[in-house]
């Protein structure tokens, strides 16, 4: 973890480069996986209408792009693509863009989605349920079939295995909140970058929604560094893997 006495820059540029030293594979069966989530002070990620642009200020966006630049692949769910149509590339800092992976069990991904644009030459993969049909996708997009569960969703451990087979060592799960929550419940997250911005929404969509517990002793207690990003945005850098917490 990062020595807290080194947190001295409001934008944290030097500090964030140092934090990426922990982005390394330590297991043969899956990549190093970092998840990120941006939320309000009251734990909301969107209004009741789904409006979520932009909860975080410019420093949070800068940090997100630096994370993208330090991973091999960025993963999002179909809900994030349909709601935000993100490009998922690196624009706000130096560095290469990662491969793009969309989890789309039912084949709802539109061919015109920005993340499928292959102009930058990066690999693009879509994970679909076995036998699911969808619109024809642009040339060069690889469709990876995976069995879905009775609820129509994938087990996140199976998704991690697919990412491993694709040869990725460092992966960012960028959204949405449901997929991040399922990944935490599945125990495949090594780090969580939770960015909290100084805004109170008061209603709307919650952030993390994990499996319920009855006793506080069963709550997750990651090792956490608290890092000011600037403009009131705060990064909670949570280490779930023991090697990072020591």
Indicate the pLDDT class of residue 66, thresholds 50, 70 and 90: very high
Where along the chain do its domains lie?
29-210+221-245
Q: Which CATH class is domain 29-210+221-245?
A: alpha beta
Backbone phi, psi, residue 49, to 5°? -90, -5
Given a cut of 80, whether residue 16 has pLDDT beyond it is no
State mean pLDDT over 5-20.
Answer: 46
Q: Omega of the bond prior to 30 within 30 degrees of 0, cis? A: no
Tokens standing for residue 46: 């969107």
At residue 175, the pLDDT reads 87
At residue 21, the pLDDT reads 87
Given a cut of 80, whether residue 244 has pLDDT beyond it is no
As beta bridge partners, residue 239 has 191, 223
Neighbours of 47 (CB within 10 A): 15
The Cα–Cα gap between 82 and 155 comes to: 21
Backbone phi, psi, residue 143, to 5°? -95, 125
Question: Tens of pLDDT along 108-166?
Answer: 999 999 999 999 999 999 999 999 999 999 999 999 999 999 999 999 999 999 999 99
Question: Tens of pLDDT along 186-232?
Answer: 999 999 999 999 999 999 999 999 999 999 999 999 999 999 999 99
At residue 50, the pLDDT reads 87
Q: Are 189 and 228 in contact (CB under 8 A)?
A: no
At residue 54, the pLDDT reads 78
The Cα–Cα gap between 165 and 213 comes to: 33
Radius of gyration (C-alpha) of the chain in whole angstroms: 17
Neighbours of 81 (CB within 10 A): 25
Local structure of 38: helix, strand or coil: strand
């Amino acid at each position: 973890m990062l020595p807290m006495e080194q947190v001295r820059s409001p934008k944290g540029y030097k500090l964030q480069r140092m934090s990426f030293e922990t982005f390394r594979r330590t297991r043969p069966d899956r990549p190093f996986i970092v998840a990120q989530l941006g939320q309000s002070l009251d734990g909301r990620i969107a209004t009741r209408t789904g409006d979520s642009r932009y909860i975080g200020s410019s420093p949070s966006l800068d940090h997100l792009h630096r994370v993208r630049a330090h991973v091999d692949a960025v993963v999002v769910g179909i809900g994030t693509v349909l709601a935000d149509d993100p490009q998922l590339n690196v624009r706000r800092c130096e560095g290469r863009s990662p491969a793009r992976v969309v989890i789309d069990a039912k084949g709802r991904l539109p061919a015109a989605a920005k993340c499928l644009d292959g102009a930058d030459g990066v690999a693009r993969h879509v994970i679909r349920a076995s036998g699911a049909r969808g619109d024809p996708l642009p040339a060069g997009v690889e469709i990876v079939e995976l069995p879905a569960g009775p609820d129509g969703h994938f087990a996140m451990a199976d998704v991690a295995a697919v990412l491993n087979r694709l040869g990725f060592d460092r992966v960012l799960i960028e959204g949405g909140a449901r997929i991040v929550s399922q990944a935490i419940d599945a125990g495949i997250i090594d780090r969580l970058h939770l960015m909290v911005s100084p805004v109170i929404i008061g209603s709307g969509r919650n952030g993390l929604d994990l499996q319920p517990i009855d006793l506080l002793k069963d709550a997750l207690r990651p090792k956490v560094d608290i890092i000011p990003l600037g403009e009131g945005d705060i990064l909670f850098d949570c280490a779930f893997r023991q090697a990072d917490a020591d």
